[in-house]
Structure 1
Amino acid sequence: MAALPVSVIVVSQGRPALLRRCLLGIHQLAYHPVELIVVADRDGLDCIADLRFSGRIKTRLETRQNISAARNLGIALATGEILAFVDDDAVPEPSWLTHLIAAFEDPRVMAAAGHVIGRNGISLQWGSRAVNGSAEEMALDLPGVGPVCPALPEGYALKLQGTNFAVRREAIEQIGGFDEAFAFYLDDTDLAMRLHRAGLKSAAVPGALVHHGFAPSSRRHRNRAPKSLAQIGASMAVYLRKHGQADRVALGLEAFRKQQQGRLDRFLLHGDLEPGDVRRLRTDLEDGITAGMTRQPGQTLIPTVGNGAFLTLRDEPAPQAIYMAGRWFQARRLLAEAAQKADKGGTVTVFLFAPSVRAHRVEFSETGVWVQAGGLFGRSDRGQAFAEAWGFRGRVRAETDRCRPYRG
């Protein structure tokens, strides 16, 4: 079967450097054919203008603070049969689309969702989950790495994480694009519920991995403490009115208030928020809920921008996987050499080991290099023992084997 053409859509506001890093990761995807759509503010578009593949990116300027509207513009520009989404503060593993698009070999599957790795580059941030009309979620324990369409309780849909999912264009044509009443938060969950209620099948793909860092934005600080709760309050009110039972909206909102208060209390306890911040954010949340109770959902038509022809991001074969390793004191030389190899088109992973039991971290650098650093005797998987006896070469072989299924 011929590979399905995929349009990868990235929207960005206020994070130009992270957008650039995200696109470097997308350019290393093993899957082909791919086109890349970027909908961003002026700073973001300016920051990516000198990328060596910038001429292969479809771009659109968007200054409104509305993630659903930006994604709809991206869909309007896209020409792929499959539309895939990843956030600007995330980077996909090179095998991401290879795993994710495998779900669409079943013609009945209309959407697919992968797993999300957290800020340490190793632990799971979000796995497969189901969600109902009251925005209540349940974790799904799925075997293997390949696509599976799980049996779900009545009223539950497979949750789509906005930073790692794909949908067939024909499904969007049937149910409409993102609901712009969700300016931020639950936009992806709303789409998942609408797919489910239209009787369209979704698949979970545990092997389709994206690394997500929870970067600071206009809505949250670097420590993840919120700057504003207005939009998530508004979105929750819209979601419950749209998908929940009418007589349970008030109960759903009260449960959401308690959840958010608990979140604020934890930030206060750790010194990340002051009491005055908590009072302001509680007021902010109530203002958002009030606005959401009158916000009209359902405006999901895709604007006509004129998408033209499919613009292939890369003509050459999939990047060669390159693995390099050294001691911590060799880091500067190794990383400089790795950056040169990445700039020439390779997918480069650098292992940096210190004589300690420090747990490992994985990051994708601004130069396009995967860097795994930690103790020679430390764990690289949270299921491993705290410390193990390793020789240097044996550890390099083991970590290379661990990365190969995802990085080639």
Structure 2
Amino acid sequence: MTEVSVVICCYTEDRWDDLVASVDSVAGQTLAPAELIVVADHNTALLQRATEAFTSDSVRVIGNDRTTGLSGARNTGYLAAKGEIVAFLDDDAAADPGWLADLLAPYEDPDVGAVGGRAIPAWPEGSAPPWLPPELYWIVGCAYTGQPVEVAEVRNIMGCAMSFRREHLERLGGFAESVGRTAELPLGCEETELCIRLRQRVPGAKVILQPAATVRHRVSADRTRRRYVRQRSWAEGLSKAAVSRLVGAQDALSTERSYLRSVLPKAVLRELRAGNPAGAGGIFVSTAAAGAGYLRGLARKPAPVADSIPAYTVDIENGETSWDGEADVLVRAGGVVLGAARRSEEVGALAAKLADQVRDRPPRPSVQPRVSVVLATAGKPSDVRRCVASVLATGYPDLEVLIVDNIPDGPREELLALAASDDRVRCLHEPVPSASRARNLGAREATGEVLAFTDDDTVVDAGWPAELVAELAQPGTSCVTGLVAPLCLDTPAQVWFEAFGGFGKGYRRQAFTEDPRNLLSPGRFGSGNNMAWSREAFLELDGFDERLGPGRRTRSGEDLDLYLRLVRSGGRIVYTPHAVVRHEHRATEAELLRQLRGYGTGLAALYLLHARRRGGLRELVTAVPRGLPALLGRRPGDSTEPSPGFPRRLVAAQVRGTLSGPLALLRERTR
């Protein structure tokens, strides 16, 4: 039987009685869920109260460790879930006994990716106010006139009683946290955006409305006031503008256009004929407020380069050769990565490279060595859970994962619980803040012949460990790096980072040995969030230099320094595009600016360390004439102008970081 996890998100103690009723309704289902997860949204008092109240073995209470708001809380919930299906129920909705069973039935069709139920309003006075006709019940989060009354495929489902296949949530990165409701703003549409993205990125995926799966959604008294209707309609317009930027206006507004053309005009005429001008007026007010909010949202649209772009993978061997609009698409055939395309018309040219890519890809060895994946973290436990789940899902036959919790008062209970859930996972603790120290600890404790490293904000591809192992099996290879593609491009900062260069190193397999041309651009070797080492070679180099990297004043550069030390000692690095990791880039401009400044600081520090080594200063001086263009981010034939709208302040941030590198290293050496 398919296992179902139910997630209830809550944010305030003012709705405590509703939350208790919601939890009780899940316990009374004719089809019992595998688990119920209650997520408290950054409210310590509510988290403690819920933990003390809900003590059943089938209920887990956790805190939202992602962005504040409903989207972040839902993402926390699905990342903690174990079931194949994840159902979401609002904290002010009580499910009817057959809700879960009816919600699950459509999943017998393997193409069904999401199923939603019907929310019946529970009015505070027993009935709706006369000026709020049933076509506007969406304002209070309930089923409305115009929705299908029988099982049907729809564009999107409503958030108070919905479900998704967990594999799709993981593939899509969950709900976009740049949209959705917070305690301060009655925004929405996060489930609409996710459903549209699901249909865009998963060929053949169906979104189903199952009206038989019913819940009773309590409508509070404040939601029956005209002021709330105006505010909620305005917020809906803002939300629709945000969704339009994420998935395109055509998909974002398809249902609304037909609703405006057919359903609402009939409703206005009905209300007028019934002698209820207040009902007709409510429709006009709501429509006008939503339209004004949408126009206001469009006016906030960022520069063209920062438009959100879908990011996903298509496999042409499975017939995935087309998609709508522009997207950042990784194209491959089976496990062979061919390149990236923005439009589906470009797939043909990439497919012509298949034979060359296959010939250049080494065979997988007959005996697969043990791989130890080291994951140093000082970040969100939900990110760690997502990353570890993707590593374990690769199915590599001999694998261990070492989580190194790098916070002073660790290890955190969430990570210890994660380690206890699978005997392939261990949790270690490095109290001194330093990603390099944490990684070195993981490497010393590892038992594998191969040491693989990634970050907690990544999701690894199914073939990731096998591709790394195949390259390391080649004679003379001590280190392998792989392709790092974006997990999502939902915010301007994420789009800018890719335009700035991102982590990707291209779609051609390359081998690197000592070469003065590479000295000033060690980033060409690969990124530290996707690399594997021969254990012997790593330990011979004494691992990462603990004066460099996140957690230290130098802030970065530990991976590039290790690459340079390897090639200087006669070692060989291979970069392969077929070992794929997807990285969740920084979501805000402030985070991106800090990241780029840190890259500059680390780069300057590692050059100073290199200059102090025997012969290092001479090598740097020799490399400058040929390596300076690469250091400045340009190679012959590259465009020297950034894309239109690209913020030059990003470049300035990295330059400022570079200037601060010497002082940062000096302070680190005297620490």
TM-score by length of 2: 0.35
Alignment match of 1:11 (pick from 376, 381, 386): 376
Q: Is 1:90 the equivalent of 2:484?
A: no
Residues 284 and 180 (structure 1), Cα distance of their counterparts in 2 relative to 1, 3 Å cut:
same
C-alpha distance in 1 between matches for 2:658 and 2:573:
32
CA deviation map 1:269-293 (0-9, x unaligned): 79x9xxxxx99x9877755531324
Q: Which residue of the other structure, out of 192, 198, 221, is the alignment partner of 2:569? A: 198
Which of 289, 295, 299 is the aligned partner of 2:662?
A: 289
**Per-residue deviation, 1:228:** 7.2
DSSP-derived class of the 2:511 partner = coil
CA drift of 1:64 comes to 2.9
Q: Is the 8 A contact 1:86 1:163 kept in 2?
A: yes
- 1:211 maps to which of 582, 602, 606: 582
* Identity rate, percent: 25
Question: Deviation of residue 179 (structure 1)?
Answer: 0.3
1:49 positional shift: 3.3
CA distance in 1, matches of 2:513, 2:430: 39
> CA separation of 1:256/1:102 partners in 2, compared to 1, >3 Å: closer, same or farther?
closer
Paired residue secondary structure (1:59): strand
Runs of 4+ residues over 6 Å off in structure 1:
121-124, 254-259, 266-270, 281-285
> Is the CA contact 1:28–1:94 (under 8 Å) kept in the aligned structure 2?
yes
1:295-340 deviation digits (Å, cap 9, x = unpaired): 549xxxxxxxxxxxxxxxxxxxxxxxxxxxxxxxxxxxxxxxxxxx
Which amino acid is 1:22 matched to?
Answer: C
Partners of 2:410 and 2:586 in 1: CA distance:
17
CA distances 1:2-21 after superposition (whole Å, capped 9, x unpaired): 21111000011132211111
Partner Cα separation in structure 2 for residue 125 and residue 44 of structure 1: 31
Following superposition, the deviation at residue 43 of structure 1 comes to 6.6
Q: Does residue 492 of structure 2 align to residue 119 of structure 1?
A: no
Letter in 2 for 1:24: A
Aligned to 1:47: 414
CA distance in 2, matches of 1:283, 1:149: 32
Closer, same or farther: CA 76–293 of 1 in aligned 2, 3 Å: same
Name the structure 2 match of 1:25: 390
**Structure 2 residue identity aligned to 1:35:** E
Task: Quote the Cα distance in structure 2 between the aligned partners of 1:46 and 1:155.
Answer: 47
Question: Which amino acid counterpart does residue 69 of structure 1 have in structure 2?
Answer: R
Is 2:604–2:658's contact at 8 Å kept on the other side of the alignment?
A: no
Q: Deviations over 1:77-136 (max 9, x none)?
A: 1111110001000010111111111012224211111101113389894333xxxxxxxx
2:597 counterpart of 1:235? no
Change (3 A) 1:43 1:21: farther
- Residue type of the alignment partner of 1:47: E
**Amino acid aligned to 2:436:** S
Structure 2 contact 450–532 (Cα < 8 Å) conserved: yes
Within a 5 Å distance, the mapping from 1:8-407 to structure 2 comes to 8-40=373-405, 41=407, 45-51=412-418, 53-120=421-488, 125-128=502-505, 142=508, 149=511, 153-156=515-518, 159-184=525-550, 185-215=556-586, 221=588, 224-227=591-594, 231-244=598-611, 246=617, 286-293=659-666, 295-296=668-669
More helix by share: 2
- Alignment match, 2:311: none
Partner of 2:80: none
1:258 CA displacement: 8.8
SS at match of 1:205: strand
Task: State the secondary structure of the residue aligned to 2:478.
Answer: strand
TM-aligned CA distance change 1:199 to 1:242, over 3 Å: same
CA gap 1:76/1:288 in 2 versus in 1, 3 angstroms:
same
Equivalent position amino acid for 1:98 in 2: A
Mark the CA change 1:226 to 1:35 in structure 2 (over 3 Å): closer, same or farther. Answer: same
Question: 2:446 and 2:546 mapped to 1: Cα distance?
Answer: 18
Measured in 2, the distance between the counterparts of 1:47 and 1:256 equals 43
The 1-side partners of 2:367 and 2:655 are apart by 52
CA contact 1:103–1:109 (8 Å) conserved in 2: yes
SS at match of 1:85: strand
Structure 2, unaligned stretches of length 5 or more? 1-365, 491-497, 551-555, 634-640
SS at match of 1:211: strand
Matches of 1:2 and 1:282 in 2, distance apart?
Answer: 47
User: 1:284, 1:154 → 2: CA distance?
Assistant: 24
Please say if residues 237 and 293 of structure 1, whose CA atoms lie closer than 8 Å, have aligned partners that are also in contact.
no
Distance 1:75 1:111 in 2: 14
Q: Report deviation, 1:45.
A: 3.4
Larger-Rg structure: 2
What is the distance in 2 between the residues matched to 1:97 and 1:46? 28
Q: CA deviation at 1:208?
A: 0.4
Specify whether residues 257 and 173 from structure 1 end up closer, same or farther in structure 2 by C-alpha distance, changes over 3 A only: closer
Task: State how far apart, in whole Å, the 2-side matches of 1:231 and 1:240 are.
Answer: 14
* AA matched with 2:562: L
Unaligned stretches of 5+ in structure 1? Answer: 129-139, 273-277, 298-408
Matched-pair contact (CA < 8 Å) for 2:387–2:457? yes
Q: How many Å separate the matches in 2 of 1:115 and 1:209?
A: 5
1:105–1:230 Cα change, 3 Å: closer
Q: Say if 1:106 and 1:285 are closer, same or farther in 2 by CA, change over 3 A.
A: closer
How has the CA–CA distance of structure 1 residues 16 and 198 changed in structure 2, closer, same or farther, with 3 Å as cutoff?
same
Residues 127 and 256 of structure 1: CA distance in aligned 2, closer, same or farther (over 3 Å)? closer
SS in 1 for 2:575: strand
Query: Structure 2 vs 1, CA of residues 256 and 45 (structure 1 numbering), >3 Å: closer, same or farther?
Result: farther
Counterpart-to-counterpart distance in 1, 2:594 and 2:669: 25
3-state DSSP class of the match of 1:192?
Answer: helix
| CA deviation string 1:9-51 (max 9, x = no partner) | 0011132211111111111012220111011135773223334
Partner of 2:367: 2
Q: Given that residues 513 and 573 in structure 2 are in contact (C-alpha distance below 8 angstroms), is that contact kept between their aligned partners in structure 1?
A: no
Structure-1 separation of matches of 2:445 and 2:595: 31
Instruction: Provide the rounded CA distance (Å) in 2 between the counterparts of 1:210 and 1:159.
Output: 16
Q: Tell whether the 8 Å contact from 2:514 to 2:567 is kept in structure 1 after alignment.
A: no
> How far apart, CA to CA, are the structure 2 residues paired with 1:108 and 1:283?
39
Task: Say which SS state the counterpart of residue 199 (structure 1) adopts.
Answer: coil
1:196 alignment partner, SS class: helix
